[in-house]
Chains A and B, each alone.
Chain A
Amino acid sequence: MNAFFTTIVMGFRHYFRDRSTVFWGVLFPLILMGLIGLAFGRSDSLTFSVGFIDLGGGILAEGLRRGLNEVPVFRVVEETDPPQALEALRKGRRTLVVVVPVSAGEPVRVYFDQARPQDSRTALVILERFIAQANLRLSGAKETVRIQATGLQGQRQLRFFDFLLPGILAMTVMQTGLMGVTWVVAEYRQRLILKRILATPIHPLVFLGGLVGRYTVTNFVQMAIIVAVAIAAFNARIVGNPATVIGLLMFGTLVFVGIGFAISTVSKTPESANLLGSAIHFPMMFLSGTLWPREFMPDFMQPVIALLPLTPLVDAMRAVAARGDALGPHLPGLAYLGAWGIGAFALAAWRFRWE
């Protein structure tokens, strides 16, 4: 045990004595968060997710559907069950819910979240303008479309930094694995540090366990700093259960450290390990919804994005930390992430060489 803890303590000191790793581990995520906040922070979100429930069918619904789809900032989601759609609205997953009535005479009902007046008003204005145009085109027809807007009490106002912080934390978890760990094994092997350790009676697994422990500890220190700064400087909030959030981050850290080890053991040189790590890191950072909702990405990318190991972590983190959701619906995704971790550690153990 002494060897395990000494490896962690010494690794920790070694890590924080290197300024460049402190920059990438702590300052970079904070700077990124500040910049993204500056660029997008004023609006709550960039597109409005519109739930569309067609109870009546018919020409009116068809025209409205086509028209809504043409509005660039609307992302129309077809739904069938009004209570479910309204629940999504309360949780902040929809900006508006549009219900087309059974009979053509009734008004089209529009629901919005009162807790997000800015978004709702913008979306409503856009919708009203669109309806007005539609009415103009329909002039001469018997019926005109009327809308009836109803405000719902949403769960809470989700602010941009509340949304951003879980993504940044998930990104930091990934970064520790793919940028921090990748070069380590290849570098220690190239510089004959592994050989020097092999020349002692320590069991190799104790040393490697110490390395994993060391990265877990450094990662949590980094994240604690990021959370503290995000709360103090950006007024971000974590509303979910802290224990669940910490558990998620711990789980994610182990998986991505495992992926880092796997990359590191299969690479001949630290340089190639770094390249491979970055090549995987950057697409995930932009695609998996760390910095903005992954719904922003084009539809044809969505199946690929769903397969990325970071995606379930970001989804679960955001749901729990920012919305206070339960973990349950995210368990299949997390199991998928866990499979990545097991596969990565198995690959690392299989391909591990001391020299």
Chain B
Amino acid sequence: MDQVIVDIQNLVKRYGAITAVDHVSFQVNRGEIFGILGPNGAGKTTTLEMIEGLRVPDGGTAVVDGIDVRRDPRGVRSLIGVQLQEAGFFDRLTVEETLQLFGSYQRKMLPPSEVIDRMQLQDKRRAWVMNLSGGQRQRLSIAVALINDPRIIFLDEPTTGLDPQARRNLWDVIERFREEGRTVVLTTHYMEEAQRLCDRVAIMDHGRMVALNTPRALIRTHAPSTTVALTVLEGELAYASLPGVRNAEVSNGEVVLATSDPMQTVHALMESSRTGKIGFNQLRVEEATLEDVFLHLTGRRLRE
């Protein structure tokens, strides 16, 4: 079996003078959770919708499990599960009826009750869609994506607008998809989500893909510094010349060090403390995050 299940090459989408997606290429491997991380307007949704065959690209190709989307969009849609960022459902149908309806549009259909159990909507089986909460609606939206038992699931900002508890629940659900051998492609602008869930992350900004790797490798490459912070009570030190330290900021006794070698830096600090050169408390070591990677790559924060 081919390892690559989604293969996109040089995808381009223009809206007038704006290039929403600018020559984006990547491959998604079978069975991984692949994340597209970027701020709003980066082109994540447009990219996803071109792969799903909902938008026609102005250039490039998207091949899903061996099928060219432009040649056979319905063939692709029969293989994939799609959760749209904003999707409308019929207000006065129940959860179960909605699944029956959308299941009837698929070539293959799981029993609605199975999908309802999966998405923990048992209590809402007979509730009208108009009476669901935001989180329940989102679970229904993913249930509809699951109704054809797809090999590949596309989730567009699946946790946006959810409270932290609901978000963590959904992360568990998505991780189970991977355990079942499904491939997941998701977009997000939450770096915690990308870091926690994704095997590999593509970072997008202004329609371009600026980096692609595992979260760990991205951090190692683009944000190699670990932050060591401490509150100094007495004494002074030439912080910038400590081993590994690349940058030191001192203000009101708050010292923030960026280091490429946290072990050596902390060791030196402990040594200075032991010999009485400085006295400090609240030593904290913080790993860099994808937020730092994004900041490094684009000079901006994810949510601005």
Mark A residues whose CB is within 8 Å of B.
Answer: 2-3, 6-7, 10, 13-14, 17-18, 188, 191-203, 207
B88 and A191 form a contact (CB under 8 A): yes
Compute how far the CA of A188 lies from the CA of B77 in the bound complex, rounded to whole angstroms.
20
Interface CB pairs A-B, < 8 A, 17: A6-B100, A6-B104, A7-B101, A191-B88, A193-B89, A194-B88, A195-B84, A195-B88, A196-B88, A196-B102, A196-B144, A197-B105, A198-B54, A200-B77, A200-B82, A201-B77, A201-B107
A10 and B93 form a contact (CB under 8 A): yes
B105 and A3 form a contact (CB under 8 A): yes
Compute how far the CA of A297 lies from the CA of B63 in the bound complex, rounded to whole angstroms.
64
B87 and A192 form a contact (CB under 8 A): yes
Q: Name the residue among B78, B86, B90 with the largest chain A CB count within 10 angstroms.
A: B90
In this assembly, does B75 line the interface, its C-beta being within 8 Å of a C-beta of chain A? yes
Find the B residue at minimum CB distance from A1: B104
User: Given A13-B97, A14-B92, A17-B92, A199 and B82 touching (CB < 8 A)?
Assistant: yes
Compute how far the CA of A188 lies from the CA of B88 in the bound complex, rounded to whole angstroms.
8
Q: Smallest CB–CB gap between A5 and chain B, Å?
A: 8
Find the A residue at minimum CB distance from B92: A17
Residues of A within 8 Å of B90, CB to CB, are 10, 14, 193
B92 and A13 form a contact (CB under 8 A): yes
In this assembly, does B32 line the interface, its C-beta being within 8 Å of a C-beta of chain A? no
Compute how far the CA of A199 lies from the CA of B144 in the bound complex, rounded to whole angstroms.
11
Compute how far the CA of A38 lies from the CA of B51 in the bound complex, rounded to whole angstroms.
63
Chain B, range 61-117, C-beta contacts under 8 Å to A: 74-75, 77-78, 82, 84, 86-93, 97, 100-102, 104-107
Q: Name the residue among B78, B87, B88 with the largest chain A CB count within 10 angstroms.
A: B88
A192 and B84 form a contact (CB under 8 A): yes
Compute how far the CA of A194 lies from the CA of B88 in the bound complex, rounded to whole angstroms.
8
Compute how far the CA of A207 lies from the CA of B74 in the bound complex, rounded to whole angstroms.
14
Mark B residues whose CB is within 8 Å of A.
Answer: 52, 54, 74-75, 77-78, 82, 84, 86-93, 97, 100-102, 104-107, 128, 144
Find the B residue at minimum CB distance from A189: B88
Residues of A within 8 Å of B78, CB to CB, are 201
Partner of A192, one of B52, B82, B88, B92: B88
Compute how far the CA of A192 lies from the CA of B86 in the bound complex, rounded to whole angstroms.
7
B88 and A10 form a contact (CB under 8 A): no
Compute how far the CA of A213 lies from the CA of B86 in the bound complex, rounded to whole angstroms.
28
B106 and A200 form a contact (CB under 8 A): yes
Compute how far the CA of A2 lies from the CA of B105 in the bound complex, rounded to whole angstroms.
8
Residues of A within 8 Å of B77, CB to CB, are 199-201
User: Given A199-B52, A201-B78, A193 and B104 touching (CB < 8 A)?
Assistant: no
B87 and A195 form a contact (CB under 8 A): yes
B93 and A193 form a contact (CB under 8 A): no
Find the A residue at minimum CB distance from B97: A10
Compute how far the CA of A200 lies from the CA of B77 in the bound complex, rounded to whole angstroms.
6
B93 and A196 form a contact (CB under 8 A): no
Residues of A within 8 Å of B104, CB to CB, are 2-3, 6-7
A10 and B106 form a contact (CB under 8 A): no
Find the B residue at minimum CB distance from A354: B54
Residues of B within 8 Å of A10, CB to CB, are 90, 93, 97, 100-101
Q: Name the residue among B82, B93, B104 with the largest chain A CB count within 10 angstroms.
A: B104
Find the B residue at minimum CB distance from A187: B88
Given pairs A193-B87, A201-B106, 4 additional interface contacts (CB within 8 A): A194-B88, A195-B84, A195-B88, A201-B105
A18 and B92 form a contact (CB under 8 A): yes
Find the A residue at minimum CB distance from B87: A196
Compute how far the CA of A188 lies from the CA of B91 in the bound complex, rounded to whole angstroms.
11
Q: What 9 A-B pairs come out closest when comparing CB atoms?
A: A191-B88, A193-B88, A6-B104, A202-B105, A200-B105, A201-B78, A17-B92, A199-B82, A192-B88
Find the A residue at minimum CB distance from B90: A14
Find the A residue at minimum CB distance from B145: A199
B107 and A199 form a contact (CB under 8 A): no
Residues of A within 8 Å of B100, CB to CB, are 6, 10
Q: Smallest CB–CB gap between B100 and chain A, Å?
A: 6
Q: Smallest CB–CB gap between B61 and chain A, Å?
A: 20
A6 and B101 form a contact (CB under 8 A): yes
Q: Smallest CB–CB gap between A186 and chain B, Å?
A: 12
Q: Name the residue among A6, A194, A201, A202 with the largest chain B CB count within 10 angstroms.
A: A201
Q: Name the residue among A3, A10, A17, A18 with the largest chain B CB count within 10 angstroms.
A: A10
Compute how far the CA of A230 lies from the CA of B235 in the bound complex, rounded to whole angstroms.
99
Residues of A within 8 Å of B84, CB to CB, are 192, 195-196, 199
Residues of A within 8 Å of B91, CB to CB, are 14
Residues of B within 8 Å of A7, CB to CB, are 101, 104
Partner of B54, one of A17, A199, A201: A199
Find the A residue at minimum CB distance from B147: A200
Compute how far the CA of A293 lies from the CA of B105 in the bound complex, rounded to whole angstroms.
47
Compute how far the CA of A36 lies from the CA of B106 in the bound complex, rounded to whole angstroms.
49
Compute how far the CA of A194 lies from the CA of B105 in the bound complex, rounded to whole angstroms.
13
Compute how far the CA of A196 lies from the CA of B75 in the bound complex, rounded to whole angstroms.
16
Compute how far the CA of A191 lies from the CA of B100 in the bound complex, rounded to whole angstroms.
20
Residues of A within 8 Å of B92, CB to CB, are 13-14, 17-18
Q: Smallest CB–CB gap between B166 and chain A, Å?
A: 21
Residues of B within 8 Å of A192, CB to CB, are 84, 86-88
Residues of B within 8 Å of A201, CB to CB, are 74-75, 77-78, 105-107
Compute how far the CA of A2 lies from the CA of B86 in the bound complex, rounded to whole angstroms.
26
Residues of A within 8 Å of B75, CB to CB, are 201
Q: Smallest CB–CB gap between B72 and chain A, Å?
A: 10
Compute how far the CA of A199 lies from the CA of B55 in the bound complex, rounded to whole angstroms.
10
Find the A residue at minimum CB distance from B101: A10
Find the A residue at minimum CB distance from B130: A17
Compute how far the CA of A6 lies from the CA of B144 in the bound complex, rounded to whole angstroms.
15
Compute how far the CA of A2 lies from the CA of B97 in the bound complex, rounded to whole angstroms.
14
Residues of B within 8 Å of A17, CB to CB, are 92, 128
